[in-house]
Structure 1
């Protein structure tokens, strides 16, 4: 592997690891806000015990997410300085604002909520966790705007003096059509991951009314998130087809432009497909919403891009795009189906069958893998572009990097991240083993 491949690998490792904790932070924060509001409205102590427990999970996850997020943002300066230099005026404000949100807004109000239960007025205390929940979603929206610029570059112009890209409208950058489609899809996937963690912990703990409520809550969040993921993913696919037709063609390994294009459930061959099991017209429906729609093929797109951007290969890694797209969909559907089975088997206060309870503690692996595969598809199927149509990955790398430097930093990140994973898992397991309990001061301050 040369320095470019090593740097790409390092960025992938850092990004995927960081994203293990992002959807958890979002979904746990929103769940805490909902449980806190339920406690304040009903004064049912079960909600107070549950929000206390979920809040501890949120704090542990948020802390690891912030640490790994710092490294994620530093990657642009360390490994991709050429890209950061040229597009930093456009890209930089989103990273700066997201960093301030995570550190100053979310962290501050999370501390106020956790330590202020017996010190703040009830309504003000509830508002602090609502601010955290809104902050996590706003943070996701802003950082997704940065990624959406890489998928669909807008709201910029080239400075006539420096030649660098210059931001023309922050509002237009935020309202990028890719961002507006990707944001609800990201939140839906986050709901599935957070709900899966709550369901897994609840069925792993000894049976109690609190744990049964937590398990049901987690399963309903998973199921709702799965339905929303399917709907928002359908819309996102159509937007991606519009701005990056090569990505959708790569997802199907569709080499020839086809009307009424099918979608392959399975395919073999090198390159794909040689032998495939197809659903008629489904790709045309996914890409353009019509069974007879024409979907551009890889060969025609390659010829068009070569004429527009110059000689070179503009075809991404087809097997990676093909299988990551299918595994993302398949694992997400399987996770939602498991949640539906659990809810059905436990309806009317029935007990879940032992075989289901035996495997449910592993359920978070399904939506977590689906989320990661979704990002792998999103980023690898954009290759060779780092900013689509503007700059290739090769042009964005730091020019003075050496393979030894990248290997050393990658090894360091791997070791540190491995330690963080063990620490996070042991802390979550320790929290899960503790019985549900009220906070030290169960009676909050008066409402005023």
Structure 2
């Protein structure tokens, strides 16, 4: 093991950890804004209580997302300086827009929302949470546009280094970077997945309260449960459609990722979708392979007899184009990450669809196991998001920028194995502590219920700011 291996592990661990909070922040910001809009329009106290209750949970998650996201930026300079040198000119624009426009909008108006309950007019205060939600979603787009450029680099030229200096990618068209096919398609997919997570978060919390706490807020939590189920079902449709488009983009721009995720060793036309496979990755052949005929062709090409390139043919093409080397990512990890992403994602969406049927016409589930399943939908959706992110990032290997910069050439040349090991150990320890803090805070506030954040307010009275 060398510094490159540990640097990859460190970035992978911190990215996966950070991404536990990102989708919930993106989706829950809008859900809370909708809840407050319902209160402003109707004046019904249960909408106010839901806004304040889920708003407090949103703020805890937001704070954790900010803290863990900062670490990502530090690693670019610490462990990946060669990568930062190459992509800096291209990444500068979208990341600057994210920090100066989107995050500034999000954090500023979120602060106004937190402290403006008893200071701002009701509709002005409502506008602050909507501005924060817009900022959160804009922030996601700019970051995903930068990430998409790594998978499909456009709008740039490579400027050769002079006097031994490294080559640099020089941006020539900012619009090409921001309107990249991979960017907007990935954004729709991540946005849909984020609303699935947010919907199931509301479902899980509401189901737990209805299951374990029979109090005066039962009506509020039943309404929240229905809202979370609707959000999950609608967002699930977006995830499905955008996921289909993502598969087509993989076939066009990242065929090796698609072939590896399917353990498709040889080119096929038509190509079947693998349901379960056991194979030899050294010999690149399957021992057991159960496939649905033509389904992969439909996903990748919208045709029953579409041609999908296999790993062996693509490896030969890349060797001819880029020179000798191993251009095949980790097939077993990609194969199972792809299936877990789909399986767990479908399970989470099914909670939303089936839950809507079970709670129709004022009903509530009557069996304890139904509430338990509703609660378990949340970790399933989070795990599906993580598997999707692993598929996205590992599927790009051995490149950091596809076709332009190898991962092996991206690591900082002056960082030792011991230094990376120390920082990895420190981050793991700190993140473990933060995980305990986050879990305890969320659990404590969920158990307390809405009463601790929403005092009894008569119509026309000012609503006091949050107490902590």
TM-score by length of 1: 0.96
From the superposition, tell whether residues 440 and 166 of structure 1 become closer, same or farther in structure 2 (CA, over 3 Å).
farther
Aligned partner of 1:285 in structure 2 is 298
The range that moved more, 7-16 or 349-358, is 349-358
Aligned partner of 1:187 in structure 2 is 191
Contact kept in structure 1, 2:347 and 2:377, CA below 8 Å: no
How does 1:158-169 map onto structure 2 within 5 Å?
A: 158-159=158-159, 163-169=167-173
From the superposition, tell whether residues 304 and 27 of structure 1 become closer, same or farther in structure 2 (CA, over 3 Å).
same
Query: How far did 1:52 drift?
Result: 0.7
| Distance in 1 between residues matched to 2:299 and 2:371, nearest whole Å | 35
Deviations 1:421-448 (A, max 9, x none): 11111111111122324357664779xx
The range that moved more, 139-148 or 36-45, is 36-45
Deviations 1:267-312 (A, max 9, x none): 1122263211110101111111111111111111111111111111
Contact kept in structure 2, 1:66 and 1:102, CA below 8 Å: no
Aligned partner of 1:431 in structure 2 is 445
| Distance in 1 between residues matched to 2:299 and 2:261, nearest whole Å | 11
Deviations 1:15-55 (A, max 9, x none): 00000000010111010111111111111211111011111
Aligned partner of 2:242 in structure 1 is 232
| Distance in 2 between residues matched to 1:69 and 1:100, nearest whole Å | 15
Contact kept in structure 1, 2:267 and 2:308, CA below 8 Å: yes
Matched position secondary structure for 1:322: helix
Aligned partner of 2:377 in structure 1 is 363
| Distance in 2 between residues matched to 1:326 and 1:435, nearest whole Å | 37
Aligned partner of 2:466 in structure 1 is none
Structure 2 unpaired stretches of 5+: 464-468
Match of 2:269 among 231, 251, 259: 259
From the superposition, tell whether residues 321 and 416 of structure 1 become closer, same or farther in structure 2 (CA, over 3 Å).
same
TM-score by length of 2: 0.92
Aligned partner of 1:132 in structure 2 is 132
Structure 1 unpaired stretches of 5+: none
Matched position secondary structure for 1:274: strand
Aligned partner of 2:5 in structure 1 is 5
Contact kept in structure 1, 2:102 and 2:138, CA below 8 Å: no
Query: How far did 1:342 drift?
Result: 2.2
Matched position secondary structure for 1:38: helix
Deviations 1:107-166 (A, max 9, x none): 111111121122112222111111111111100000001100110011111235654211
State yes or no: 1:27 paired with 2:37.
Answer: no
Query: How far did 1:419 drift?
Result: 1.0
Deviations 1:331-362 (A, max 9, x none): 00011112222222222222312211134323
Query: How far did 1:184 drift?
Result: 0.6
